[in-house]
Amino acid sequence: MDYVSLCGIGIGLAMDAFAVCITNGAITKKVTPWFAMKLAICFGLFQSVMPLLGWLIGKAGESLISAVDHWVALILLSYLGIGMIREAHKKTYCGIHDRRQNDIKPKTLVALAVATSIDALATGIILPSAVGASTVFLMGVSVAVIGLITFFMCLAGVYIGKRSGALFSCQAEYFGGAVLIGIGIKIFIDHVFL
C-alpha cells in the first residue's frame, strides 16, 4: 500500500474542508473546544465515508457520479455562500456591529460537509488502484487515514480562523461566503474543463 500517495490524497481532499473551518473559526463569536471538535468530527466523518461509498458504488456508478458531482458541489456551496453574504449585508444594513455567529446550525454543517466531500465520493472509485488498497481491510485503513487527516486539518483550521478572525472580523462573513462560492466554482471548473 502506498502511504505517501494516500496521505497526499487525504491532504488534497481535506483542503476545501480546511478552508471552510478557517472561515467558521473566524466568524464564530466564541470558539470552544466542543465547537472545534464538532466541525472536525463532521468533516472528518464525511471525508472518510464518501470514499467508502464511492468504492462500494464501484465502476458501475462512476459515470453517474462524475456527471453530477460538480453541479451538486457548485449549487450547495454557492447557496451557502450567498446566504452568508446576504446575512453579512443584513447585519451591516441593520447596524449590527458584531457580525459573528454564535454557533453553526446542524443543517448548515452537514450541507458544508457534504458539499466539500463530493470529490471524495468520486475519489473512492479510483482509490484502490491509486494506493493499492486491494482488500476490504486496506480500503478501511485508507478511509480511516483520509478521515484522520481531515479531522486534524479541520481542528487546526478552526483555531487558525479564530486567531485571524480578530484581524478581519468585520469582513469575515463576506469573505467566508466568497470562499464557499469560490470553492464551488473551482470544483466545477476542475471537473468540467480539466
Reported as a single tens digit per residue, the pLDDT across 39-77 is 999 999 999 999 888 888 765 666 666 677 778 778 877
Q: Which of 175, 186, 182 is nearest to 84 (CA)?
A: 175
Q: Which residue would you say has higher pLDDT here, 69 or 151?
A: 151
**Nearest-10 Cα torsion for 40, 42, 48, 51:** -130
Domain count, the chain: 1
Run of H or E residues at 28: none
Distance CA 46, CA 120 (A): 9
Mean pLDDT in residue range 178-193: 81
Residue 39 has what pLDDT?
Answer: 97
Q: Convert the pLDDT of each residue in 87-139 to its tens digit.
A: 777 765 554 445 567 788 899 899 999 988 887 887 777 677 666 777 778 88
Q: Which of 65, 59, 64, 80 is nearest to 16 (CA)?
A: 80
Query: The domain containing residue 58 runs over which residues?
Result: 3-193
pTM for the model stands at: 0.74
Task: Please give the full DSSP string across 122-167, using - where no structure is assigned.
Answer: HHHHHHHHHHT--SHHHHHHHHHHHHHHHHHHHHHHHHHHHHHHTT
Distance CA 3, CA 146 (A): 11
101 three-state secondary structure: strand
43, 151 in Cβ contact below 8 A? Answer: yes
